[in-house]
């Protein structure tokens, strides 16, 4: 079961809350930053906060919802700008905040994220942001424990190494596609998920390059075959007609779904 709501149900110690910080596909749009999602759950008498992707423009919106010092861990699906370039801004905040430097944050990410994001930040040695970020590589098919969450990564299909993520507590699950072209392993990862946050960057009427992104019809087909509870469609570029994506989804999925917007929250 899942439904939009403001906060986790008080009577469920393992409820998860998903907040869409940014969902604009490929670049920030006029109505949303690029990809960034906040996943929260109770842990150890407090709320644990996992940030999933930190794309262009997301750091601003994020500060409306959380004190950046309260982010416990970051999971980066892949190293395209629209999923990770606001790590540079977070580095500045965490290193130079006038109230004191933040503790280093664990960052689960594709191999090479430290040097790549160091260069993006502008450090000379390409390794200049590891004092604030503790980079750990995803291993395809393996699970890691982050606070209350078990996070399982699967390598999907994209021009760079890109991972879909299954984020679970004992009673709830969210599967995030990241960016991917058609990938059967995404169906496997999503089986039975309460929420399936799946990209649909392309429309069926387009001339779509292979092995890059999904259409709404493909996202709907995956949701149907995986038997998910609810489909959340994301990563729609600002140049794309959202009504066409919605129509594509309906050709393959007859369960609950919506095209997500920045600021939307879901409790599961
Ligand atoms: Zn993207
Ligand atoms: Zn990408």
Q: Sheet holding 265-267: strands in order across? A: 133-137, 105-109, 73-75, 46-52, 36-43, 17-22, 265-267
Ligand nearest to the CA of 162: 2
Task: Say what the pLDDT of residue 13 is.
Answer: 65
Alpha carbon of 206 to ligand 2 centroid (Å): 18
Question: Is the pLDDT assigned to residue 8 strictly greater than 50?
Answer: no
The answer to whether 238 and 23 are in contact (CB under 8 A) is no
Query: What is the span of the domain harbouring residue 192?
Result: 17-267
Task: Say what the pLDDT of residue 138 is.
Answer: 98
The tokens describing 97, both together, are: 């905040």
Alpha carbon of 79 to ligand 2 centroid (Å): 7
Residue 6 falls within a domain, yes or no?
Answer: no
Task: Say what the pLDDT of residue 5 is.
Answer: 44
Ligand nearest to the CA of 159: 2
- Which CATH number does the domain housing residue 241 bear? 3.60.15.10
Alpha carbon of 164 to ligand 2 centroid (Å): 12
Residue 259 falls within a domain, yes or no?
Answer: yes
Residue 116 falls within a domain, yes or no?
Answer: yes
Residue whose C-alpha is closest to residue 153's, from 188, 182, 181? 188
Give the single-character DSSP code of 262: T
Residue position matching structure tokens 């760079």:
160
Question: Is the pLDDT assigned to residue 86 strictly greater than 50?
Answer: yes
Residue 9 falls within a domain, yes or no?
Answer: no
Indicate the pLDDT class of residue 154, thresholds 50, 70 and 90: very high
Alpha carbon of 124 to ligand 1 centroid (Å): 27
Task: Say what the pLDDT of residue 185 is.
Answer: 98
Residue 2 falls within a domain, yes or no?
Answer: no
| 178-233 pLDDT per residue, tens | 999 999 999 999 999 999 999 999 999 999 999 999 999 999 999 999 999 999 99
Residue 98 falls within a domain, yes or no?
Answer: yes
Alpha carbon of 44 to ligand 1 centroid (Å): 33
Question: Is the pLDDT assigned to residue 36 strictly greater than 60?
Answer: yes
pTM listed for this prediction: 0.95
Q: pLDDT exceeding 70 applies to what percent of the chain? A: 93
Alpha carbon of 253 to ligand 2 centroid (Å): 24
Residue 169 falls within a domain, yes or no?
Answer: yes
Those residues with Cβ within 8 angstroms of residue 124's Cβ, 6 or more apart along the chain or in another chain: none
Alpha carbon of 77 to ligand 2 centroid (Å): 9
Alpha carbon of 180 to ligand 2 centroid (Å): 7
Ligand nearest to the CA of 28: 1
Positive or negative torsion for Cα 38, 113, 27, 90: positive
The answer to whether 179 and 52 are in contact (CB under 8 A) is no
Alpha carbon of 176 to ligand 1 centroid (Å): 12
Query: Domain tally for the chain?
Result: 1
Alpha carbon of 156 to ligand 2 centroid (Å): 11
**Which of 33-37, 127-131, 206-210 comes out lowest in average pLDDT?**
127-131
Residue position matching structure tokens 């960057």:
201
Residue 3 falls within a domain, yes or no?
Answer: no
Residue 15 has a CB neighbour count (10 Å cut-off) of: 20
Task: Say what the pLDDT of residue 125 is.
Answer: 65
* Gap between the terminal Cα atoms of the chain: 6
Alpha carbon of 180 to ligand 1 centroid (Å): 9
């Amino acid at each position: 079961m899942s439904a939009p709501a403001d906060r986790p149900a008080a009577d469920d110690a393992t409820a998860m809350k998903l907040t869409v910080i940014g969902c604009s596909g490929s670049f920030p749009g006029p109505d949303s930053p690029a990809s960034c999602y906040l996943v929260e759950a109770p842990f150890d008498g407090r709320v644990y906060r996992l940030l999933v992707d930190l794309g262009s423009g997301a750091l601003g919106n994020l500060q409306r919802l959380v004190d950046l010092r309260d982010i416990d861990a970051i999971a980066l699906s892949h190293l395209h700008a629209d999923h990770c370039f606001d790590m540079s801004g977070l580095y500045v905040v965490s290193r130079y905040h006038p109230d004191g430097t933040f503790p280093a944050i664990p960052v689960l990410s594709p191999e090479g994220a430290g040097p790549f994001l160091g260069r993006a930040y502008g450090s000379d040695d390409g390794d200049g942001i590891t004092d604030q970020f503790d980079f750990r590589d995803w291993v395809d098919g393996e699970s890691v424990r982050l606070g209350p969450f078990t996070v399982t990564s699967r390598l999907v299909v994209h021009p760079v190494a890109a991972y879909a993520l299954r984020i679970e507590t004992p009673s709830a699950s969210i599967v995030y596609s990241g960016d991917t072209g058609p990938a059967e392993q995404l169906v496997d990862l999503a089986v039975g998920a309460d929420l399936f946050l799946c990209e649909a960057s392309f429309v069926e009427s387009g001339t779509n390059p292979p092995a890059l992104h999904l259409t709404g019809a493909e996202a709907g087909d995956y949701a149907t075959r995986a038997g998910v509870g609810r489909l959340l469609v994301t990563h729609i570029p600002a140049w794309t007609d959202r009504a066409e994506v919605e129509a594509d989804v309906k050709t393959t999925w007859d369960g609950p779904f919506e095209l997500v917007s920045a600021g939307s929250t879901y409790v599961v």
